[in-house]
Structure 1
């Protein structure tokens, strides 16, 4: 079981660190923790996201199987992030939709795409037991 003091760490490729900074910090509102010549480290909703400078960018990303994101426990937080993404005109890979409609695992989801073609999914389950 995860201890609330532990932090999940994810490293992703970034073709340009200024673009990554603009998307994650100025766009999504993440906090910049550190910046080096080859990477930026971010507080991504309480976890650590590291954008490493790379020339290996997926030119044709697909939602499955490779993406990452946040599953919100509170609908209000999900809605607020969706509104923020719309207001700041962040690039959507897939706009808001309902998955598994009518089933216990029904949830709201949308996907953003960052400047390096990394896909981010944000979800909210109506039944919080389905979060895991």
Structure 2
């Protein structure tokens, strides 16, 4: 099915493309791939994230039912992200926290909100086989 050359495509609304670039590139370290008048495309941890200019953005950052993010297989990568979030003072919606403590599904998590109130969750499972 999917190989290392494939990318998951995620599209979200953005009220301001400059703010989106500031958050995703200079905040999270995503790579800017393309920019047009109505959208901006990023290499978001190996997947394609597109922020489409829109007036229809969430009024507030709410985790459920819609969010996206990355499940890190390596604890070191999650730790590196936590340090980046703290250093760059990114907007944290929830966490960092430990979920399902004491179970096979135990994992660490943090949820961020971008400038358009899209919610991004980052995780690291103790057992990386359970990230799917």
Aligned equivalents of 2:61 and 2:79: distance in 1? 25
Superposition deviation, residue 28 in structure 1: 0.4
Q: What TM-score, normalized to structure 2?
A: 0.98
> Unaligned regions of 5+ residues in structure 2, if any?
none
Aligned to 1:126: 126
Give the ranges of 4+ consecutive aligned residues of structure 1 lying more than 3 Å apart after TM superposition: none
Q: Does 1:66 align with 2:93?
A: no
- Give the Cα–Cα distance (whole angstroms) in 1 for the partners of residues 6 and 90 of structure 2: 29
Counterpart in 2 of 1:34?
34
The 5-angstrom pairing of residues 98-117 of structure 1 reads 98-117=98-117
Structure-1 separation of matches of 2:2 and 2:78: 22
Residue deviations 1:45-96 (CA, integer Å, cap 9, x gap)? 0000000000001113321210000000000000001110110000000120
User: Could you tell me whether the CA contact under 8 Å between 2:61 and 2:93 is conserved in 1?
Assistant: no
Give the paired residue count. 132
The equivalent residue for 2:81 is 81
Q: Once superposed, what is the RMSD of the aligned Cα atoms?
A: 0.7
TM (norm. structure 1) is: 0.98
Q: Distance in 2 between matches of 1:93 and 1:100?
A: 19
